[in-house]
Structure 1
């Protein structure tokens, strides 16, 4: 009894670290991609056997970054994974001159083999609406102001908020863009600290994370690239580049 009281007291005083229980059902998001190596540790979304969508901050280095498909626990071999080098990185521009777009397309060195655990996510056929509940997943902390990455894929549900509400929370040094969509608010699960975390609404890919504002202040919505505005660009990139096969032969990797 005394030991139990001690454990409770330590938790109340902050001596015990907060627990983060928002773990996805394993392999319930077969489009989720773990990007690692070459200075990158991010998420992305598989949209085709050769193509991944992610955010600008996650742009990797060709043939240095590996895309791990079919992942849940990134520290162990679960037997469901395919590890494939990123062969080509295509930025939507401009970003540096005017940070209005945060979107990168990644072409794999080898086509992914679709399985029960590896499937593409459909591109959006419409835009998300304020009040709609969407689902965000990534390998980041879901505890505000904690930065430890997660070995397990995390999932949260967030409401989409209107543009004006989002703009009202922007710090002065950030620019609002029509290419942004915001989700999350006070009293909801509003923190996913993981670059390129994937937002899915009604079974369609609607966002990759741009700014994780909700991890600094749970009352502020986080910002995602509004992918419904980029479907034409994404399809055009895939049409123009898929026929050009990588010149460097890189086999599917068996270990991360």
Structure 2
């Protein structure tokens, strides 16, 4: 406004549009906020806060209570089924074994359930740690182990080298230093804006993934998927190796 008052311009320099200014509030706007609108907005804020509070509590219950508890019981069932399989194999291959530990009665109380959830947290932590190590190992192989295309690019054919040199010379002759400087600054600004937007999108995606935002079905869908992966990993990494080891020992003992 100060610049327009100083320059006394009435049209835009780019599009020649006539400047028009209107007040922020209409003339018939009341001097104070009506009570009904204030109550309505306050009720909406309370409803939104209560809604997200319920979503956060539900997400914490699922990810910190239900999923670890199921993971722990998957571990327990794998151990119990492995012991039962050991008894069955001992009856088939050897004499019945009496020193295999028997199942004890489970005490259903809050302390036991909380203790089982803590064990489930340890199982989840180990699973996440192995997953992160696998991703880091995959990233290391991608950066340090050359692929076939990379090897061919490191040793290009002479014709490819000549074509690349000619193209590079043509591009250097056609580029303008001033335009390049302007474009570099513009590209840097765009890259910074994209990084900020990407960070916000990643955070929103994380909230949607754990079920705090978005469709409530995403919470149960992602929790079910993680639970199935945990159970599958426990079966592959614990139950099958245990059965194979017991079978191998018993077969060697019978010879």
TM-score for both structures, normalised by structure 1: 0.23
Q: Which structure has the larger Rg over C-alpha atoms?
A: 2
More relative contact order in 1 or in 2 (CA 8 Å, sep 6+)?
Answer: 2
Name the structure with the higher strand share.
Answer: 1
